Every structure is written in C-alpha cells, then in structure tokens.
Chains A and B, each alone.
Chain A
Amino acid sequence: MRNSVLKQVLIALEGWKDNPKGLEEGTFKTGDWLKSTRMVGLSTGEKHFIFGGIAQDLRSDGRQRLHYRPISVETGVIPQANGSARVRIGATDVIASIKAELGKPSMHQPGKGKISIFVDCSPTAAPMFEGRGGEELSTELAVALQRCLLGGKSGAGAGIDLSSLIVTEGKICWDLYIDGLVVSSDGNLLDALGAAIKAALSNTGIPKVNVDLGPSPDDQPEVNVSDEEFLQFDTSGVPVIVTLTKVGRHYIVDATSEEESQMSSAVSVSVNRHGHICGLTKRGGAGLDPSVIMDMISVGKHVSEQLITVLDSEISAAEASATD
C-alpha cells in the first residue's frame, strides 16, 4: 500500500517536470476539498498572523505544531446501532455508528466480509452543508476513510480485519455499515472521524450466529441470530489517522478550520498500533517533494503513538462510564 501510493506521488511528480501547470491544476483532483474549507474569510493580517504562529511554533491557541487539541470520547450514543461513538476534538464534533447486517460475501473474496463507509455533513455544522452542499465534502471524506482504513481494492493492507467478519465461507458474512456524521466542524474532520470509527468499533457487539448447513452444499443455510450473546470486535489492529497539514514551509497536526484555509496540501497517514502504515491520502492542489512526504510519514508515525495512547485511555474511560 505504502509503496503504491508513493509510486503514484512519484509518477505525479514526474509528470510535473514535463507539465508544471498540471500539478497546480490538481493532478490529484483533490482541490475541491480545499475549496470548500476556504469559506472561512480571513483578512491578510490574520493570515499573516497564522503563518507567523506556525513558523514560530506557537499557534493561535497556544499549541505547538505537533500538538493535538483535547480529545473527548463518548461511546454508545446511538442505541439502535451495533456500536457508536461521538468524538470531540476541540470544537470539531463527529459521530460514528456501526450497523452489522448479514450478507453474502463477494465472489472474488469468499473468505472476507464487507465494510462500507459513508459520511454525512450535517447542516448544523455549517450553513453551506444544507441541501446538497455537503455532498462533495462527504464523498471526499468517505473515500479518504476507505483508503485509510480498508486498504486496497483487494483488501490487502486493511486496517480492519475483514476475515473476522466471515460466518460461513462463501455463503454468509457480516456487512458492516459505518456511518459518520459531522455535527460541528472546526477542522481536522478526517482524524476525528477516524478516531470515532475506532471508538465505535470497540463499542460494537456483533450478535452470535448459529448456522445450520443444509444437506447439500447448494442449499441456502439456515441462520439463527442470537439476541443475547454478542461477540466483541477485535479493534487492536484498527489504525488511527493523523493528518499533517502543510502551511507555508512547515506542517502541523490537528489544524483548525482557520489553519486549514491556509494550507497548501495535507497528507493523512493511518498508522496502527505496531507503527505500520495502513493507508495514505493526500489532498490539496500543491505538490510535495518525495522527501517531504517521507518526512511527514515518519513524523505522522511518531505523533500517532501519542494519539493512540490518548485515544485508548479515552475509549476505556468512556466504556467504563457507559457501564456505570
């Protein structure tokens, strides 16, 4: 996964040599996100102040470049879902819910379940999300999340283990529907959604299933879904997403919407507990030097260690208070 993305980046950069304009026009075709976050109108003075803060390693709310805002997690917020969580990072507020349904595995991968990720931007977050306004951003976020959590098309390098979702190979599997909802937006939505999905997965109980296979292998098997027994989902391998936003010559984590409006490009790295990269996405029109990307990945990996620790303790605290 990591190699293929880097290859893409390199190919794009090769192309840039021949056609320098191509990159500015968005070879990655991810400029739309950038456009939508630009609604925050800032005067030149304020922009200059933000740039200066990032250059001097003291951002507007007193954080350094690699500091996250306080994170709070709440689990089990939606009783109808199999698992749900609400994550707040500063003023950014997102909810993730997980619904499990029985389905049939695809022909190509009989040994694996299916996961689909959808994101919705609520109009309460910003007036521009009203009607179809939030659709563009929602799709971008969903695609980025799929890349960061589900790995490649073949399912290789997936952060979530798809083979644990199988009930009967080739016949029955669990389909997980992951829905993200952006309630309030103050930048860094992808990291927040990633954290919410991680928390929701650890909150998820999948009902125990008894399968009575028919006498012949072609028969449709009979399925009994238990109402009482639930299996916990193994979330130790679920990665966290760290977005490094490049503003000026430096890059920062956990950008607020004001800072995001000033970004030239952003790289999102999803890293699991073992420090392995599970996915990588880049957005923003401006190109990046491959060495900068490598640098960003290693910084992202370092930051993810702290983030995982914080998130784990928050999730376990939330689970403890939910059972009280």
Chain B
Amino acid sequence: MRELRVGLNQTQKVRLQSALKQLEELSSRVSNSSTASVTVADTIPVNLEDGVLKGHGTTDHNGEVVATLCGVVERVNKLVYVRTLRARYKPEIGDIIVGRVIEVAPKQWRLEINFSQDAVLMLSSMNLPDGIQRRRTAVDELNMRSIFEENNVICAEVRGFQHDGSLHLQARSQKYGKLERGQLLTVPPYLVKRRKQHFHHLEQYGVDLILGCNGFIWVGEHIEANEDEMMQEKAFTPFVTRRNICLIANAVRVLSVLGFNLSLEVIIDTVEASSSSNLDIKDMLGAEFCVQTAEREVQRRTTLIKKKG
C-alpha cells in the first residue's frame, strides 16, 4: 500500500502525539470486554470449563488461552479467535465494493478487489438497463466489452461464495456499474466500516462518493442514471466540480494517513474545515492540516462521549 508521509516539525510532532494519546485514552474508556483488543501474548479470558475451541491467532500456554496476533477477540459460540486489524479485505455477502476489471473471460469479468483472490462478475448477474433478466445469447456474450472493458472501474455487490470457493459479485440495479469521470483512492480496508449507505451523492458539491467496503473509494462527478453517455464523453469535468472532487479526495487521503475511520460525516467535516480555513487544496496533505485534523477528531470524540454519558 502506498502511503503518504508527512514531515512534521518539533511542535507539530508534540501536538500530534498528544492528540493520538488522547484518542487512545478515549477508545480505552469506551471499549468493554466484548470488543477487547489484544496484542501478542495477552491472555484471553475464557471459561475453560465450557470447552472452548481455540481458533486463529490463539494458542495454549500454561493452561491459558494466549493471543498470538494483534487484533480484536471474536467469539462465536465456543470458538474464540483473534481478528487482526490490519488484514486484507474479507468479503461478506451484501458488501458494496469497488473494483477494477482485469480480464474479460467467457461469460464473466474478473475483478481485482483487494481480496486474496479475484472476484467474478457473471454476465448473467448483470440486469439489462430496464431491470429485465438477461437471456443467455451468444451475441450478448460477444458484446461484453461494450459493457465493461479491461481496466474499467466498476461498483458491485458481493453475492457470495460459490461451491468451488470463488467469490461472485452481482450488479442488478442501476446504481451499480461503470464509474467514470473521477478518481479511485485506495485506503486500508479496515477504515471503511459496513453501514447502511455506501453510495453518497453530495448535492452541495455535485460529487458522487462511493465508500467501497474493500477500501477502494471512488470520488467522481455526479452522474444521473439516465444521462446521455455520448454527451459526456467529450467535455471535461467543470472546474468547480473538479475542485470539490480534489477537496474530498484529499480529505480521504489525510484521514487514511492518520488511520481514522472513513464515514461521510468525518469526511465532510474535514472538507468543511479545510474550506473554512481557506487552505489551498494541495496543502491539505501538508503537516499542519494533518495535525489539525487529528485534534479535531479528539474534540469530536470527546463531545460524542459527553453526549452519551
């Protein structure tokens, strides 16, 4: 994963460290035993009489269950395992993902989605524009490249694992499909949490933001579903919209450098902070804004906790 590095001066370093420390304290106050995070060699409290099953990332040491990985303890009935935080994306059924076509194969497209294997999107898992199921004809198969070509960025939903272990996707509605006129960002997948909404149309900016569960994030110009495609081909994105796209993309970059969860509210908050301080868009990736963002996150979480308490 390509990562931005920010050069901090001495005061900025101190400020960032104190902000991160505060965040750490806040998170330890919130967490309880059910979402206990462990590091290597931490004891995992279990009731041995129940006959626990030691899963991934755990081992038996002097009669105690000990973690061998850093992460969060997960319990499913008797099974205890550690889910690592910095792991590759693990798809779940219904996830909205953004991926890139790497191969057009017979009756299917193969997509890179940041998973340990390539995902498969069957031609039959795509509905026709008016929502009718496809009929399996040879002509349809020959025209597959008119739908998606190699290197196209597309958005789809995880349908599930097939019997042979391959991952299948589906794109049965208008909102899924090819993404154009924008940029694709790659962030660690654990920063994108599963939510009700992953498609966001930011009306005030005229921008579409898709937070793919696999850590691929699309920021692009808003396109109405029924807009004429030929019309858009030639013209460039209007300057104002492009500015907004860059703003939002840089907000996402800053947040991912700091390792903060990417939710719509936080992204918009960062964008607004940058525009209210009249910052140049490129300076959003600079050290000062990075520290400011961390400090703002501390404030946000403190007020959240106060509200709850």
Contacts and interface: CB of A to CB of B under 8 A. Distances in A.
Interface in B267-285: 280-282, 284-285
B178 interface: yes
A52 B5 contact: no
B6 interface: yes
Given A41-B151, A90-B4, A62 B182 contact: no
A211 interface: no
A43 interface: yes
| Interface SS, B side | mixed
Contact of A45 (B4, B153, B284): B153
Contacts of A43: 100, 149, 151-153, 178-180
Nearest to A52: B236
Central interface residue in B4, B100, B149, B220, by most chain A CB within 10 Å: B4
Interface in A46-89: 46, 48-49, 51-53, 55-56, 58-64, 67, 69-72, 88
A46 B2 contact: no
A58 B246 contact: yes
A186 B186 CA distance: 13
A62 B286 CA distance: 12
A184 interface: yes
Contacts of A213: none
B3 A91 contact: yes
A56 B3 contact: no
A58 B242 contact: yes
23 contacts: A41-B150, A45-B182, A46-B183, A48-B181, A49-B182, A49-B237, A51-B236, A52-B242, A58-B239, A60-B246, A60-B249, A61-B250, A61-B253, A62-B247, A62-B250, A62-B284, A63-B281, A70-B6, A70-B285, A72-B6, A72-B7, A88-B5, A88-B7
Interface of A: 41-46, 48-49, 51-53, 55-56, 58-64, 67, 69-72, 88, 90-91, 93, 184, 186, 314
Interface of B: 2-7, 100, 102, 149-153, 178-184, 220, 236-237, 239, 242-243, 246-247, 249-250, 253, 280-282, 284-287
